[in-house]
A and B are shown apart, each in its own frame.
Chain A
Amino acid sequence: MHRGRPMPISDEVYFLCMLHNIGMTAPEKSLTIEEMSRLTAIEPSKVEENLNKLLKAKYVDVKTIYGTKKYFITVDGIRKVLSMYS
């Protein structure tokens, strides 16, 4: 992570920051697991593992379009990321 953290941040929060930076900040900007994997260079299984934690924390939400799950960051998720950058 950036900015010399005195302790490591969790994988899922680091992943949340990446999702924010690639622009998944609204339902119309949602992406599939495969798309996220491609844009972040993280294995799909690891993407899914992180997403499950972020969904539980309500930092990410999911919608299903024609049977395909697409994910986006919630307002709380955006604020979580921004609080780390400020």
Chain B
Amino acid sequence: MNICIVTWEYSPRIVGGIARHCEGLAKALVKMGHSIDVITLDFPGASQYEEVEGVKIHRTSIELGHPSFIAWVFIFNHFMEKKIAMLSKDVKFDVIHIHDWLVALAGIAAKHYLKIPLVLTLHSTEVGRALGLNNPDSYLIDGIEWWATYESKRVIVTSNSMKREVEEHFHLPQSKIDVIPNAIDTSKYHVEVDREAVKRRYGIAPDSRIVLFIGRLVPQKGVEYLIKATPKIVSNHPNAYIVIVGDGWLKEHLLSLALSIKHKISFLGFLSDSELIELILSSDVLVVPSIYEPFGIVALEGMAAGVPVVASNVGGLAEIIEHDRTGVLVYTGDANSIAWGVNRILSDSNYARWLVENAKRKVQEIYSWDAVASRTVEVYEKSYGEV
């Protein structure tokens, strides 16, 4: 099949999980023998066109601008739509696969002028991300999401909790939705790491035990509960050290929240993929304290890397992690519960090892890109021929 994947983020333009998802899926589809064109946005240092492991990546420049976020989205969708139209002169696409609302308008337009099926992967919803619909922009985004589910032949979500959310919120028939989880390339964690050197790089004492958070610094990720849990973790384990990786609009608030424990916490901002892998492999616990999480690919990263995971019992996290077997589930938005989970792992190395062994096995069995790609092709085939 000739598949056109449309996404606003693709490596090296990595914001959240979508870039990693699209890259893993695209490469696995190529391995299956499909032709993949990825339409995405430009990024400093990245070329306008390149082929990586058989994936043809087209980066669209945005030639116009406007201070408004929504106007900017509409503008870049126009340029993406134009790029798809130009490409379609040479490639007869069989299906367009869009990822989230940000590229929905380009995908919907292309579906109509190319007369081919549109498949949507909804990684999250506005009502979940923004913790409600609170202003005109949010209502519009929610409307675009609904419109995209309506225009798409099939809607893919990454967890059963997300399926329930989409069914209820957009009144979508169950039969139109497919659940295909995210996946992970476990081979990238098969590297030797000098843990002391990694700690030195970030000014962390060599005997420290790293409690790691990775994610955007926004309310849905629940970082503040980890910060609030820190005194209770440190009182039990004085060598515990909290490391926060990522950035976001909540950062300043979180920094002020962490003032009293600043000697026990570091905010590292964004890290490159290789730096991140080294840090994960040097960590003792990975905490995913989200209060809304349709999937939670970070939890998979920890599981694949052999780092015990403490995660909120919410959304996709509750489906990925089996409590007391492949990780520790804690109450959502509860600092005491997070501290309990982290302390439990730091206090018992045998228990931590047991979790890690089970988690690694589960990731290898279920969350591989080859499996995800096969199931995605089945969805394409279901949609094909019915525009």
Contact = CB atoms under 8 A, between A and B. Distances in A.
A85 interface: yes
Q: Output the residue of A4, A39, A75, A84 with the most chain B CB within 10 A.
A: A4
Interface size class of A (residues with CB under 8 A): 20 to 34
A86 B130 contact: no
B72 A4 contact: no
B64 A23 contact: yes
Given A2-B70, A4-B131, A4-B135, 12 more contacts: A2-B69, A2-B135, A3-B130, A3-B134, A4-B133, A5-B249, A21-B65, A22-B66, A22-B67, A76-B269, A82-B9, A86-B216
A79 B67 contact: no
A23 B135 contact: no
A51 interface: no
Interface in A48-86: 75-76, 78-80, 82-86
A21 B67 CA distance: 5
A21 B248 contact: no
A21 B68 contact: yes
B196 to A, nearest CB: 27
B16 interface: yes
A86 B44 contact: no
Nearest to A14: B249
Contacts of A85: 15, 69, 102
A86 to B, nearest CB: 4
A9 B69 CA distance: 15
Contacts of B249: 1, 5, 9, 13, 83-84
A86 B65 contact: no
Given A75-B44, A86-B9, A23 B62 contact: yes
A29 to B, nearest CB: 9
Interface of A: 1-7, 9-10, 13, 17-18, 20-23, 25-26, 39-41, 75-76, 78-80, 82-86
B141 interface: yes
Contacts of A17: 67, 69
Given A6-B131, A21-B66, A84 B218 contact: yes
Contacts of B103: none
A2 B137 contact: yes
A13 B69 CA distance: 13
Given A2-B135, A21-B71, A26 B44 contact: yes
A84 B131 contact: no
Contact of A3 (B62, B126, B246): B126
A80 B218 CA distance: 11
Interface string B136-172: 0110010000000000000000000000000000000
A47 B179 CA distance: 47
Contacts of B13: 82
Contacts of B9: 82, 86
B247 A4 contact: no
Contact of A83 (B44, B248, B253): B248
A85 B269 CA distance: 17
A36 to B, nearest CB: 10
Nearest 10 CB-CB pairings of A with B: A4-B134, A23-B65, A22-B65, A18-B67, A2-B137, A21-B72, A82-B15, A86-B16, A86-B15, A83-B248
Interface string B218-248: 1100000000000000000000000000111
A83 B216 contact: yes
A41 to B, nearest CB: 8
A84 B220 CA distance: 11
A23 B70 CA distance: 14
Contacts of A21: 65-69, 71-72
Given A3-B126, A23-B64, A76-B269, A83 B135 contact: no
B217 A3 contact: no
B132 interface: yes
Contact of B129 (A3, A9, A26): A3
Given A76-B270, A83-B15, A86-B18, A25 B44 contact: yes
A80 B247 CA distance: 6
A9 B66 CA distance: 20
